[in-house]
Chains A and B, each alone.
Chain A
Amino acid sequence: MTQIATAPSGAEAALLSVRDLTVSVKDRGVVRPLVAGLSFDLAAGETLAIAGESGSGKSITSLALMGLLPNNVSVTSGQALLEGTDLPSLPEARMRAWRGARVAMIFQEPMTSLNPVHTIGSQMTEVIRAHEPVSASAARTAAIEALRKVRIPEPERRMKQYPHELSGGMRQRVMIAMALVLRPVLLIADEPTTALDVTVQREVLELLRDLQKETGTAIILITHDMGVVAETADRVVVMRHGRMVESAPVEQLFAAPTQDYTRALLAAVPRLGTGAERAKPLPPAAPVPVARLVDAQVHFDIGASFLGRPTHRVHAVEGVSFDIRPGETFGLVGESGCGKSTIAKSLAGLVPHQGHVEVDGQALAGLTAQGRRDICRHIQMVFQDPMAALDPRMTVGEAVAEPLLIHGIGTPKERHTRAAELFERVGLTLEQMTRYPHEFSGGQRQRICVARALALKPKLIICDESVSALDVSVQAQVLELLEELQRETGVSYLFISHDMAVVENVVDRLAVMYLGQIVEMGTRDQVFGNPRHNYTKRLLDAVPIPDPLRRARAHARPVSDIPSPIHRIGNAPNRLPLQDIGDGHLVANDW
């Protein structure tokens, strides 16, 4: 323990008082701190955001408070007093009683935190009855009440459903209901909305805020998203490499950050409405577009009738038409399940499609194997998770040279030279070429994927959520790299993302997709400056604004679930005709 022997008088009133908390990992006899000397206070009913990029120790802090640290990690010094009781030194049996009842936690991925083989009802009543001596029917009533509080429609029916029958947003609501059903004094939310779509994120954040007002629960919100911080937190702790960088009330932190790192972090956050500053002339339409889709459709048949015929059909992509000009960045935005990734896959030849899709003037349908391979030289893909997209058993140097090898270009020596050039171009060193993917950070891995995509000098690179999994500062660097490469090589990008702020900053033209169809399409200025379709407006409204003074006022909206794109066979969805409202700004006319 250090100089803080007696907590300052203000902190005595605090609900949770963390003093000089140090969490260390022990590895082969070497003890290394993951979180060092962290101190903060949290009052009842307050929301504290712990913000930081990956590796900052923010999740470790929350696990330490919950007593859920991995085996070789432990709290080595300091205290975390919850109403005067030191959480880390609490014996496991007492902690177990406290967990859920006094301190509750919600995790990022609601699907993995719910048990898939139990109904929502049985999981909720189990939580209640594990902590309180109540009858099964009383627990059931309490559970239904809790579900109603998180604005889940038809709570009685949900009780009988299994986690997979609910959408992501619904599942996260169930997690919140479960966490709050025992009225804990402290709720730790670890990236609660990161896995959700923006419109759902907005609803969940508003819900958390309303519930807090009602119950007075203190919330620790762990997040990497400064927009979420600005929208929900009262105070902020910024962490980096296990240490606290800055701690301030939210308005003060955003208005006048005192530390360089905080300033850099805030500057790197993509903001809506700043895209116009990056004025760049629109690339002109060329006679031969890099890629063209005319009435493209992708359907998957599912279900089986008695005779083995499919009964339903997923209309993943339903009559989509657009073209991508040479040298432009074309954006596809929409929420999960809207078909944007399916379009990418059909362009890359990973899923079969109907309708007309051409790449560089060459129709994709009816190609021979050789023709298919030749098309690959023009069209490359950068995936969302670079770790998953690289073969873990292949050195990254081999991975970057592989496309050349596949297409039989050059001698081994020439291939190596080309790979080395690409490595330097994306900002990596030559000596890193003999390493394996796991030895790199996320941003570096994505650079490697970009290098691999560039190896064949393609005309179009599909970026499928390519920067979504990266920290904001790294995200900015990768986007910068993509832009430089476009200036140098004239490559076109199909930029697929759910993040409107990022899209606004990078694209020239874009299409907004909803349920497999385009609802609005136009240049960036047209769509962002003058959004016409309701769905586009909703998407834009839902983007968290990294400015606590412009906090959107909560208006309890009824819970909305995106309708399903699954239809009975022979019962195709209605096509939305697009209407030109001037200068090629197309809007579906159902608004």
Chain B
Amino acid sequence: MARVTPEQPEEAILAELTQRPNAPVAPAGALRRLLRRKLALFGFAIIALVVGGAVFAPLIAPYAPDEQLFEGLTLFGEPMPPGGGFLMGTDLLGRDLFSRMLYGAQTSLLIGVVANGVALLIGTIVGVLAGYLRGWIGAVLMRFTDLMMAFPALLLAICLAAIFQPSLWIVAMVIALVNWVQTARVVYTETTSLAEREFIAAEKTLGASGARILFKHILPHLVPTLIVWGTLGISVTVLLEATLSFLGVGVQPPTPSWGNIIFENQTYFQAAPWLVFIPGAAILLLALAFNLVGDALRDVLDPTQRGND
């Protein structure tokens, strides 16, 4: 039961319903509390699996990703379904899909995590600065964001990718440069409303500097939003990379990525569904895994959710 103080108000009773007041856990226990959640563990497991597969691809993969195997096609030249000699079947050129998925994980992780992470970072910086400083700086930043938003992302990406030599890193940066705008918009809105909150006014009366208010009091409150946008962004960026690859400005064939495996094979969906289904499921699972971990992270980092797991 809760501490019964002479002045226990209604909200304390209600708070009691949503939390068990116990000895507070030090922030160091955050990881432990994270690991106590089954769904978060599931998410971690999938991420570990994908990362492991990508890192150890040369050791695990039964074939080279770009090797066109003679036995990978039927006598009529059709791809082999999963099972038999090939775990996930083969593609239209007789390449082993499992091997391609493992190598493709390298590309997709890089795009999904690095490109998406950079996009999130740019979006957050622009959004927070514009939202907190307002004035002409804010106006310039947000009008620029609107401009970027109005520009067709794909067209911009194609232009950028065509200017630079196509390489995996360039593709990642191009994706980051077109994907930060939504984050900036959302962060901007949230920051403006946070900046109006009374505890920010309280900090100002304490004499806190702008940097302190931004980093200690505004950014932590943006974490839940950033986690949601970050995890949503993973599938978006992985698929954007696939689009770019399909148009020839992304990752160059025969280098595999989950996205371009789908794009290469989507026209044969009815004859060889596994070629689309397996990489699609992989992208979905990866995004889900990041989402689960992100959700758990958000709850664990939110002190008002304490003891609710």
By the criterion CB–CB under 8 Å, are B207 and A442 in contact? Answer: no
Given contacts A391-B217, A392-B304, contact A406 B207 (CB under 8 A): yes
Interface status of A526 (Cβ within 8 A of chain B) = no
Interface status of A372 (Cβ within 8 A of chain B) = yes
Which residues in window 372-396 of A have CB below 8 A to B? 372-377, 379-381, 383, 385, 388-395
A contact residues around B32 at 8 Å (CB): none
By the criterion CB–CB under 8 Å, are B207 and A441 in contact? Answer: no
Shortest distance in angstroms between A14's beta carbon and chain B's nearest beta carbon?
28
Shortest distance in angstroms between B33's beta carbon and chain A's nearest beta carbon?
15
Taken residue by residue from 194 to 227, chain B's Cβ proximity to chain A (1 for < 8 Å, 0 otherwise) reads as: 0001110111111111001000110011000000
Shortest distance in angstroms between B191's beta carbon and chain A's nearest beta carbon?
15
Which residues in window 312-354 of A have CB below 8 A to B? 345, 348-350
By the criterion CB–CB under 8 Å, are A471 and B7 in contact? Answer: yes
A contact residues around B203 at 8 Å (CB): 391, 402
A contact residues around B5 at 8 Å (CB): 441, 444
A543→B233 CA distance, assembly (Å): 58
Interface status of B13 (Cβ within 8 A of chain A) = yes
By the criterion CB–CB under 8 Å, are A388 and B207 in contact? Answer: no
Partner pick for A349 among B13, B198, B205, B216, CB 8 A cutoff:
B205
Given contacts A350-B201, A381-B202, contact A473 B7 (CB under 8 A): yes
Interface status of B9 (Cβ within 8 A of chain A) = yes
By the criterion CB–CB under 8 Å, are B198 and A373 in contact? Answer: no
A contact residues, total (Cβ < 8 Å): 54
By the criterion CB–CB under 8 Å, are A55 and B8 in contact? Answer: yes
By the criterion CB–CB under 8 Å, are B199 and A391 in contact? Answer: yes
Shortest distance in angstroms between A243's beta carbon and chain B's nearest beta carbon?
14
A contact residues around B7 at 8 Å (CB): 53, 441-444, 471, 473-474, 477
A contact residues around B199 at 8 Å (CB): 388-392
Closest chain B residue, CB of each to CB of A436? B303
Closest chain B residue, CB of each to CB of A398? B216
Shortest distance in angstroms between A262's beta carbon and chain B's nearest beta carbon?
15
Shortest distance in angstroms between A39's beta carbon and chain B's nearest beta carbon?
22
Which residues in window 51-94 of A have CB below 8 A to B? 53-56, 59, 72
Closest chain B residue, CB of each to CB of A25? B17
Given contacts A392-B303, A435-B24, contact A54 B10 (CB under 8 A): yes
Interface status of A438 (Cβ within 8 A of chain B) = yes
Partner pick for A438 among B13, B208, B304, CB 8 A cutoff:
B304
Interface status of A407 (Cβ within 8 A of chain B) = yes
Given contacts A391-B217, A439-B21, contact A53 B207 (CB under 8 A): no
A434→B216 CA distance, assembly (Å): 17
A contact residues around B48 at 8 Å (CB): none
A348→B13 CA distance, assembly (Å): 35
B contact residues around A442 at 8 Å (CB): 7, 9, 11
By the criterion CB–CB under 8 Å, are B208 and A436 in contact? Answer: no
Closest chain B residue, CB of each to CB of A348? B205
By the criterion CB–CB under 8 Å, are A54 and B207 in contact? Answer: no
A34→B11 CA distance, assembly (Å): 12
Which residues in window 180-204 of A have CB below 8 A to B? none
Taken residue by residue from 387 to 422, chain A's Cβ proximity to chain B (1 for < 8 Å, 0 otherwise) reads as: 011111111000000110011000000000000000
Closest chain B residue, CB of each to CB of A57? B10
Shortest distance in angstroms between A448's beta carbon and chain B's nearest beta carbon?
11
By the criterion CB–CB under 8 Å, are B303 and A403 in contact? Answer: no
Partner pick for A436 among B11, B212, B220, B304, CB 8 A cutoff:
B304
Interface status of B139 (Cβ within 8 A of chain A) = no
Shortest distance in angstroms between B13's beta carbon and chain A's nearest beta carbon?
6
By the criterion CB–CB under 8 Å, are B304 and A376 in contact? Answer: no
Partner pick for B15 among A54, A407, A438, CB 8 A cutoff:
A438
A contact residues around B216 at 8 Å (CB): 391, 394
Interface status of A27 (Cβ within 8 A of chain B) = yes
- The total number of A-B Cβ pairs within 8 Å is 116
A contact residues around B146 at 8 Å (CB): none
Interface status of B302 (Cβ within 8 A of chain A) = yes
A contact residues around B19 at 8 Å (CB): 439
Closest chain A residue, CB of each to CB of B2? A439
Taken residue by residue from 286 to 309, chain B's Cβ proximity to chain A (1 for < 8 Å, 0 otherwise) reads as: 000000000000000011101000
By the criterion CB–CB under 8 Å, are A55 and B10 in contact? Answer: yes
A contact residues around B15 at 8 Å (CB): 438-439
A contact residues around B208 at 8 Å (CB): 402, 406
Closest chain B residue, CB of each to CB of A373? B207
A458→B7 CA distance, assembly (Å): 28
Interface status of B64 (Cβ within 8 A of chain A) = no
A309→B9 CA distance, assembly (Å): 49
Taken residue by residue from 1 to 43, chain B's Cβ proximity to chain A (1 for < 8 Å, 0 otherwise) reads as: 0000111111111010101010010100000000000000000
Closest chain A residue, CB of each to CB of B303? A436
A434→B21 CA distance, assembly (Å): 12
Closest chain B residue, CB of each to CB of A473? B7
By the criterion CB–CB under 8 Å, are A54 and B303 in contact? Answer: no
A59→B11 CA distance, assembly (Å): 12
By the criterion CB–CB under 8 Å, are B304 and A383 in contact? Answer: no
Closest chain B residue, CB of each to CB of A477? B7
By the criterion CB–CB under 8 Å, are B9 and A53 in contact? Answer: yes
Closest chain B residue, CB of each to CB of A439? B21
A394→B24 CA distance, assembly (Å): 13
Closest chain A residue, CB of each to CB of B24? A434
Closest chain B residue, CB of each to CB of A60? B10
Given contacts A392-B303, A393-B303, A436-B304, contact A383 B198 (CB under 8 A): yes
Highest count of chain B CB atoms <10 Å: which of A53, A391, A406? A391
By the criterion CB–CB under 8 Å, are B205 and A381 in contact? Answer: yes
Partner pick for A376 among B17, B197, B206, B306, CB 8 A cutoff:
B206
Partner pick for A372 among B6, B207, B217, CB 8 A cutoff:
B207
A contact residues around B220 at 8 Å (CB): 393
Given contacts A441-B5, A471-B9, contact A27 B17 (CB under 8 A): yes
A456→B205 CA distance, assembly (Å): 12
A394→B207 CA distance, assembly (Å): 17
By the criterion CB–CB under 8 Å, are A402 and B198 in contact? Answer: no
Shortest distance in angstroms between A260's beta carbon and chain B's nearest beta carbon?
13
A385→B202 CA distance, assembly (Å): 11
B contact residues around A394 at 8 Å (CB): 216-217
Closest chain A residue, CB of each to CB of B26? A434
By the criterion CB–CB under 8 Å, are B24 and A385 in contact? Answer: no
Shortest distance in angstroms between A519's beta carbon and chain B's nearest beta carbon?
28
Closest chain B residue, CB of each to CB of A374? B207
B contact residues around A72 at 8 Å (CB): 17
Closest chain A residue, CB of each to CB of B25? A434
Q: Can you report 17 A-B residue pairs in the complex whose CB atoms are below 8 A from each other?
A: A54-B9, A54-B11, A55-B12, A55-B13, A241-B8, A348-B204, A373-B207, A381-B202, A385-B198, A391-B199, A391-B203, A403-B207, A406-B212, A441-B5, A441-B7, A443-B7, A456-B206
Residues of B participating in the A interface, judged by any CB pair closer than 8 Å? 5-13, 15, 17, 19, 21, 24, 26, 197-199, 201-209, 212, 216-217, 220-221, 302-304, 306
Extra contacts, 18 of them, besides A34-B13, A392-B304 (Cβ < 8 A), are A54-B10, A345-B201, A350-B201, A375-B207, A376-B205, A381-B205, A388-B198, A390-B202, A393-B221, A394-B217, A435-B24, A439-B21, A441-B7, A441-B8, A441-B12, A442-B9, A473-B7, A477-B7
